[in-house]
Structure 1
Amino acid sequence: MLVMFALLCGALPAFATPQVFLVQNSGWMEPFYADPQSRFKPLVTELALAVAQPGDALVLAAFNQSLPGAPSPKALMSAKVGEGTRAQVTKALAGLDTARKPGGALADTDLGEAVSAAMTQALGGKDGIVWLVTNNRNSPNNDQATAQRNREFYELIHRGGAIRTALAFPLRMQVQGEHYRANGLMVYAFAIGAGGAGALERLLANGSIAKIITEPPARLKPLDRNTVRLVPRKVEDAPGVSFSMAPNGVLRADVASGATSPSARIGWNIENTMYPYTIASATLSARSKLGGEDRPVTLGGTRVTALAPGKPQPLASTLQ
């Protein structure tokens, strides 16, 4: 059923980003479906409508663990986003319930299988975004060692070259079913390829995701790029040079033609962008280029320690 998506991709405009929503419906998810007060399905609906843009290809699929006679993932809808998308998503989710094995037992869960199928079958190896809505209990073949299975799932994320960015949004949601109860779930966003990474960055920047999920995501990948951000907080101009802040955060220096030794003292805030991780320690260095010429930068300190998200630390510098 997911093959339908490949046909849609060929007709999409170049700027459109295919998006796949994988919704878990294994036995562990029973309270999310059974509780009459559950907001689970409305959450999936509103998130899909918030992030999928007009013209995007949208696939909605349920997943548990594939067995003979019970394939997984199973497509619920596949369409190009437009005016009728809300009704399509609502209708597709309305009939979704906890899955069972051919023998009648509640279905198990295989997160890795679902993500791999989304990349290879639904996206057909092309760029896009895969969303995974799960209670984060990975239990293929009813394996009770869910912590170990989850570690294996995270290893798959980090080893997979196609996954450029991986974010995890933890959500609180108390639900009670006949067999189980739960206090929350996890929404993963996997950016596939450069196109998917760029699209996910835009969704984060324009607030589309934050309209539905207000808590900041935990970054799972990459962990070696864009780890900190420098924000100017105080600039002391020197004779012959003036500074201004551009809307995108770039600090602009205007140097008078007659300035002989322009210099300035700049106070920064150094911010950790690696939520939820704290940077235990790091070494700092700086360089600048002014008018095509390398200029020395003197820092007030060359090390930072215990830099936590949301708790910026001051950094002094002198540009010469």
Structure 2
Amino acid sequence: MTDTDQRVIEVDALRRGYSGGFEAVRGISFSVSRGEVFALLGTNGAGKTSTVEVLEGLARPTAGTVRVLGLDPHADRAVVRPRTGVMLQEGGFPADLTVTETVRMWRGCTTGARPAAEVLAQVGLTARASVRVKQLSGGERRRLDLALALLGSPEVLFLDEPTTGMDAEGRRDTWALVRALRDAGTTVLLTTHYLEEAAELADRLAILHAGEIVTAGTPDEVTASRPARIRFRLPADVPAARLPLDLRAAAEGQQVEIRTDRLQETLTGLLRWAEESAVRLEGLDARSASLEEAFLEIAARTPEGVR
């Protein structure tokens, strides 16, 4: 099987504009392989929703091409839709139906739908099957949204903020389910504001801002391009100026922060200096860049201009 055969989602120079000249997506390109979890991240208004709507076949691109399972998701929607599952940010289900009634209603609109009890067990809602939708917690409603997206055993699964409103246990259970789906060969495109979620789940990711992809790669590749951080507090009688020149960095009073691309070497030099100078470094904290730090750094340095 060739690399092209493995590409389940292909986006090439995608642009999407709206009336009045507003361009939400500005020529982005990426691909997602079979059995891969791909996270599309970005600040509010970055273009995530506009991109996903095109991938789901809900809108045409203004320019560029999009393929899902080798087909145009808009022109070939009748063929593509039964092979995909979509979990929207809000399902909008009738409040007075029970969980089981909601799933059964949805089954009537789903090709090759699985039994209601099966999907409810998969998302941990068996015990809530007879409860009305209006009585569910926010996290339980998200589980119901996920159950409906999984009804047709989709080859491609679109998850839009899947764990919003869930407690920690529900979020971890959902992560485990997404991993199991990926391992079984399902291709997952995920949008989320929880950067820990993206770091935990994504095989690869792209960060959008102002309609453009600013950086992309594995979570490790994205964070590796940012400097590591060392923080500590000097004793009151030791000014930051006493640090060796190659270790001096931003300091507020006795609090010091060093940014470095060579964490091990820099930390070794710092500890050697502290030992030789008989200086105790209070609150010493050394760590590689996190995905959150990379994300915030991108958001801060990239010019605004897109809502």
What's the TM-score once normalised by structure 2's chain length? 0.31
The structure richer in strand per residue is 1
Structure number with the higher helix fraction is 2
Higher relative contact order (CA 8 A, sep 6+): 2
